[in-house]
Structure 1
Amino acid sequence: MRLQPVLHPDGNLPHVTVFQGPFTDSLVPAEALEMIGTAAAESGLRDEVRLSSTGVVYQPTGWLFLALERPPLLEALQEAALAALDRHLDRAAFDNTKDISRFTADERASFERYGYRYTGKAYAPHVTLGRAEEETALELARTAEDRVSLPKEWVFDRLSFYVMGKHGAHAETLLERPLGPM
């Protein structure tokens, strides 16, 4: 049973997505990342954020996530990201053919507004562990605690813009900066 894509520092860097979406050419990543980082610092985020994991969860269809807590500071970080990025979203590139029938009402509203299902009330901080056939993913989620020992706390210390690969993988870092004030 193998998840795809495989987590790896050189091809699918484990990460917590604050927001992902298609952007227009008007987006200047360095400017946006500076705006987000400044807003994060003003919200009280410092050099790192420690997040507790809440377990391995299944997400339709075939996804396995390491779910993380959702503290107010992380919500503020997402709000800062949305404020900086909203006007640069390429709404014409949203996948309107995507099956959203299994999305919650909040996820549907998020997807329709931002092209990404996990914003606002639907924000679900997580590390994507990978994707598998439906039955395999369900079995792995049910038996995760018996299969692997995961740290209870994860530390994040930077913000980045990245190229999204297959299944939302963190394929290549374009730009990064420390999480705290510069």
Structure 2
Amino acid sequence: MTRWLGVALLPRADHLRAAIDIQRALGADHGLQPPLTPDGNLPHVTVFQGPFTDTLDPARDLGRIGAALSLPAEIHLGFTGIHYQPTGWVFLGLTRPSVLDKLQEETLAVLTPHLDQAAFDTSKDTSRYTEAERSSYARYGYRYTGEAYAPHITLGRTDEQAARTIVDTAPTRAEVGADWVFDRLSFYVMGENGAHARILAKRPLDAS
């Protein structure tokens, strides 16, 4: 049975609430979906997500990812702007320090053997992807790996015009902190539009 799952960085509690408030401020009139909540669809930075076979064990494999790296107690990412991403996505863009590249590389090393490649959507329209995104999608079934990795908190998805309006008016509608702090890794069930719908396993970044 195919399971659609992901690995993510979760924000510290105060920054989790800040992301929820930003989505509400920006999307109240424009239908950003799904709504972010503190106990449902969590704000997060995806490390990797996709379809997996039953050979994957979320708790075991999250432990393997964490144990392979020497991570700090907190990872700080800088805010780069509210971005539009085709098609209809609104992202809170974040910086990409080397620790994130190492985290994704180790995540891919642990999880690739469990990918259900037969479940990749080969009919998906990738015409608006960059070449690096198309290559990533063909190899892993996920748009943002390697050169194409783009750390972000997804604020939601809506129609094209509304998404562009949100991005254009964001500076006047919401205050966004310059520094975003993450302190946990999670293995999660993907929900609507790839949302972080339910935690299957989690661990502090610096768990021994």
* TM-score for both structures, normalised by structure 2: 0.84
Higher strand share: 2
Distance 1:103 1:10 in 2: 32
Distance 2:123 2:81 in 1: 31
Segments of structure 2 that go 5 or more residues without pairing to the other structure are 1-29
> Where does residue 39 of structure 2 map in the other structure?
10
> Which residue among 24, 31, 48 is the counterpart of 2:60?
31
2:142 partner letter: Y
Distance 1:30 1:175 in 2: 5
SS at structure 1 position matched to 2:175? coil
> Where does residue 52 of structure 1 map in the other structure?
78
> Where does residue 130 of structure 1 map in the other structure?
156
Report if aligned partners of 1:39, 1:77 keep a CA contact under 8 Å in 2: no
Shift of 1:93: 0.6
* TM-score for both structures, normalised by structure 1: 0.96
Report if aligned partners of 1:46, 1:181 keep a CA contact under 8 Å in 2: no
2:143 partner letter: R
2:175 is the alignment partner of 1:149:
yes
Listed one character per residue, the Cα deviations across residues 135-169 of structure 1 (whole Å, up to 9, x for unaligned) are 00011111111110011111101111001001011
Segments of structure 1 that go 5 or more residues without pairing to the other structure are none
Shift of 1:38: 1.4
Shift of 1:39: 2.1
Give the root-mean-square deviation of aligned CA atoms. Answer: 0.8
> Where does residue 65 of structure 1 map in the other structure?
91
Report if aligned partners of 2:79, 2:95 keep a CA contact under 8 Å in 1: yes
- Give the percent of matched residue pairs that are identical in Structure 1 and Structure 2: 60
Tell me how many residue pairs correspond in the alignment: 179
Report if aligned partners of 2:59, 2:200 keep a CA contact under 8 Å in 1: no
Shift of 1:12: 0.9
> Where does residue 140 of structure 2 map in the other structure?
114
Distance 1:126 1:39 in 2: 24
Shift of 1:102: 0.3
Runs of 4+ in 1 over 6 A off after TM superposition: none
Shift of 1:49: 0.2
Distance 2:205 2:102 in 1: 13
